[in-house]
Each structure stands twice: as structure tokens, then as C-alpha cells.
Amino acid sequence: MAIREIIILPDKQLRLVSKPVDRVTSEVRKLADDMLETMYDAPGIGLAAIQIAVPLRLITMDLAKRDDDETSVARPRVFINPEIVSKSDELSVYEEGCLSIPEYYEAVERPAKVRFRFLDLDGKTREEDAEGLFATCIQHEIDHLNGVLFVDYLSKLKRDRVMKKFTKFARRAAE
């Protein structure tokens, strides 16, 4: 396993639409392991492959760190080629952040419940229902696979401020 570099806004790769994984291979499993290690190191609760500059439809997630129970153990999850198959009309609001937009958090409204389909690490098709933080996180990460960032749900004014801030930060870092 290896910790990979997480790309940061305004990197244009974050706007790429990721390609489906054709087959679950040892390389895909290794990528998932690297992503989990990278996500834990960051630390974060979700990571899409595009955030480490790999444009494949692969997500890792572990919501245990966000549980109130300090004894919660890691529950690493891997979702390959995930897609939303249904959404509730009911909405919920969560404060979201993103490892590719560090130290910026904002309330985002999304469907409160979703049903999604994915492949597991054995290449088997699965479907799950998600609600609460799980629903928010899976939607956030699937958005990454489609080149969408959580700041795209904000008002134009807030989004422009964030883009300007991170563009300025990237320019300074390049100097």
C-alpha cells in the first residue's frame, strides 16, 4: 500500500468524467488499498480515484471516524462503478468538506435517501440503500466521478470566492 498525492482545486483533472472499471483485477484492488491508506492519512471519510489523478470509477469510504462512538472500528468500503438508481424527494442538509478543497466546509442540500448499484471487490453487482451521512457521502463521491464538486451546489458568489481563493493559493505554491 502507498499514500498517493491528493490533487487540489483548481486542478482541472477534478472536472474529468471518470471511466468505468472494466474488470476487477489485482491492480484495481491495489488501487483501492492505496486509496484507503491515502484517505486515512488525509484524514477523510471518502475518496474518489480521480482525487489521486486516476480517472476510474472507484470510491473508498469509511464513516466510522464520524460516529459518535469512540470505540467504533474502521469499516472500509470500496465501491466500483457506483451509480445512483433512485433518490428520495425528501432532502437533507449536511456540512460537507472535501480532501481536494482542504479546510473549506459548507452546508449542501441533497436527497436524504438514495439507492445505488456498484461492483464489490469480487466483481459482484450489489445494490444498497443509503441515508444520513452515508447518503450524503456516496452522492458526494459519485459526483467526483462525474466531474462535479460540492462547491457546484453553492451560490455563484460563494463558488466564485472558493475558486478565487484556491486559484490564488495554487499560484503562490507554484512560485
Catalytic residue, candidates 5, 70, 141, 175: 141
Instruction: Name the nearest CA neighbour of 66 among 28, 94, 86, 37.
Output: 94
Beta strands per DSSP E along the chain: 46-48, 58-61, 77-87, 91-98, 101-111, 113-119, 125-131
| C-alpha–C-alpha distance, residues 116 and 141, integer Å | 12
Residue 163, phi then psi, degrees to nearest 5: -60, -45
Cis link prior to 76 (omega < 30° from 0)?
no
Handedness of CA 43, 116, 83, 27 (dihedral sign): positive
Active site residue 141: yes
Catalytic site positions:
141
